[in-house]
Structure formats: C-alpha cells, structure tokens
Amino acid sequence: MEIFHTTNMDSAIGPLFLAASARGLVALEFDARLPGQQSIRPNPRDLRGEKRGFRFEESSGELRPYVAEMEEYVAGKRRQFTFPLDLRGTDFQLACWRALLAIPYGETRTYADIARAVRKPNAFRAVGMANNRNPVAIVVPCHRVIASDGALCGYGGGLDLKRKLLELEGALSGIMAAQMI
C-alpha cells in the first residue's frame, strides 16, 4: 500500500492540507471546501470505509520543503515552485493541468485558451471540469483561468480567494482594466 505523507499548514490565505507520495506533491487542498468539491481526504461521514490503494501518514518533516515554498509564495517571495508533482488523473485532465502549469505567474488565460492549448478547441466546459478536479490547488494554477468576458468564475477556494491570489500575483489589475473597457 502506498503511503502519502501529509501535513496541515496555516497560511495567510487560510488553512491548507498537503499530501505527497514518494514521487511528489499529490494534493494541496483548502481546508474549507465548497459542497461537492473533490478531496483526496476520506469523508468521515462515509460509513462504507473508502478502499484506496494508499494510506495517510502525518509527516510534517517530509513535507517541510513543500510548506516552505508555499509560505514563500503566499508572502509574495516566490513565483515558481521547484518541488516535484505527482499528478494523477485522466489523459485529458493531465493535459489540462500541464496547460495550467504553462500559464506564467501574474497572467491569466480563459477556459477557451486552455481548450485550444490541449487541442480541443470546443472543450472549454470539459476544461472547466478538469480545473474543478485539480488536486493541487495554487501550484497547478487553476486560479489563473477566467471566463472569456474577463469575469472571475469558479474556484474551489471561493471567488474571494481567487481574487486574493490574482491580486498577490499582480494579475488582477489587468483583469479589472479589461472589464472597464
């Protein structure tokens, strides 16, 4: 059975849950999740007892490098993450998440932009679903994806947090200027 090392961290943007395999970060989740939002963590109300091929092991020492880079990012001192990722999803989801990783710090793209990037130009709704299933928030920057009209929309941490992250990265001023035209 695979072991996922886990830790919880407090940050300026709220509590975060991190999980990593031997290959890299598997999950970065907001403590407060929206209804219906996916989570790698087991649901304590699920009496069926989820059967997964992994178990969690609290290990703040193992995740110290991840936590340090997250703290630097939230403090505005880091623009890129250097730790490895262990992304797990369908081929389409992985393609979408790689396209998200290509969005530079401080910039945004639309769902249609991502659909074109993965060579599925009409799949912008499917791109939205792939974003919704993104297991590694912030690092795989789905917060940098906006609607075609420039509106902020859909984010697992809520729109206030999306706005805060874009503001931290300096991307919000460009969005607001485009909306005023």
Q: Report the catalytic residues.
A: 142
Within 8 A by CB and 6+ apart from 129, the residues are: none
Measured between alpha carbons, how far is residue 71 from residues 10, 11, 78, 128, 178 in Å?
9, 7, 9, 28, 30
Stated length of the chain? 181
